Amino acid sequence: MVNQVFNQVTAHSTFPSSMSIVEDYDMGGNAISFLEVDGFRYPIVDSEIVKGMSQLKAKDDDILLLAYPKSGTHWTWEITSMLLQGKAETIPHWKSKVMVELQPQEVIDAFPASPRVLNTHVRYNQLPLQAREKKCRMIYVLRNPKDVAVSFYNHHKSFENLYKNYNGSLNDYLPFFLSGKTDYGSWFDSILQWEKDIEAQRDRHPIHIMYYEDMKQNPVEEIRKLAGFLGVSGDDSLYNAVADKCSFENMKEDKEPFDPKFKGKLLVYRKGQVGDWQNWLTPDQNEMFDKVYQEKMKDSKFKDNIRFTLP
């Protein structure tokens, strides 16, 4: 696979960092582009913001919502924000307004909510230093990687500007995904690194772990547990109302006015199901996926809770 570097910028006030737009190719030779900063791939977003991310000022009560892309970040952000406001009313904002690799300090600071639910797809050691020093509360969301791969494939094809018009087939894309060449790197590396960091940080940061599949199967119970973590004093009527307002169908309809970029497109609210991969992966592709999964995840504790289908 060829790596083509278009430009190279090397400048930073406190420590040197390298930045470039890289064009890579899937197995079929279809081009896809990323922003690469210090060897880590991002969508093509503002490189100055990515560069300044570690210096972002955090507040003591900030909550960090953390997930590999396509794991249910929008959904969990909406649920968390509704619980914190104590009512099941749609949040009239785009979650990306408080996404740390996307927004400058002034936009994040102007966000009208307290506490704030900052969110990101980066790893622990890339988080804003202050958020780490202040031991901010963290919510970590996981989803089974076959559904993540299918969702990410559709994402890469749909966000034309972020990846410069990627248009490969799933067959060509899967090896690319499995070898960790996408933005935010390998799902496996990300999950395994978070597993280590969560273990190491447990005594510093309060951490709550959620699985997309559990949220789908029993949303009210998962919302109740999350409320307990957040210290929100709600009751069943609130949890039921939040679960309903945050159902896939309701969010798809309600959030559109606040996510204008997504209007009428299958970008974020695509299908929202567990096991959609079964409609996409051939038996051969599935076997290839299983091989990599078994090998990479053999020592993972998360593995015990990751479900590829629901009963």
- Kindly list the residues in this chain that would bind ligand A3P in the complex (CB under 6 A): 67, 69-75, 147, 151, 154, 246-248, 251, 268-272, 276
Q: Is 205 a catalytic residue?
A: no
Tokens representing residue 129 in the block = 């230093």
Are the C-beta atoms of residues 42 and 49 closer than 8 Å to each other? no
40 vs 248, beta carbon nearer ligand A3P: 248
Contacts of 251 (CB under 8 A, 6+ apart): 74, 75, 78, 245, 269
The H-or-E segment that residue 67 falls in is strand 63-67
Q: What is the spatial distance between Cα 310 and Cα 256, in angstroms, rounded to a whole number? A: 28
> Which CB atom, from 36 or from 183, has the smaller least distance to ligand A3P?
183
Name the minimum Å distance from CB 217 to ligand A3P: 11
Q: How far is the CB of 10 from ligand A3P (least distance, A)?
A: 31
Q: How far is the CB of 151 from ligand A3P (least distance, A)?
A: 3
Cβ nearer to ligand A3P, comparing 19 with 242: 242
Q: C-beta of 219: minimal distance to ligand A3P in Å?
A: 8
Both tokens assigned to 126: 């890339």
- Helix residue spans in the chain (DSSP H): 47-52, 73-85, 105-109, 129-133, 145-158, 160-163, 170-178, 187-201, 212-217, 219-230, 236-245, 248-254, 283-296
Give 232-238 contacts, CB < 8 A, sequence gap 24+. 232/83, 232/84, 232/86, 234/83, 234/86, 238/83, 238/86, 238/87, 238/88
> Please, what is the minimum distance in Å from the beta carbon of residue 6 to ligand A3P?
27
CB closer to ligand A3P out of 33 and 151: 151
Q: 34 burial class (0-12, 13-18, 19+ CB within 10 angstroms)?
A: buried
Number of residues that make up the chain: 311
Instruction: Give least dist CB 50 to ligand A3P, A.
Output: 18
Tokens of 42: 């991002």
Of the residues 12, 93, 121, 205, only one is catalytic, namely 121
Q: Is the peptide bond before 283 cis (omega within 30 degrees of 0)?
A: no
- Cα R_g (the chain), whole angstroms: 19
> Residue 93 or residue 134: which is nearer to ligand A3P going by CB?
93
Residue with Cβ nearer ligand A3P (55 or 273): 273
Residues acting as catalytic residues: 121
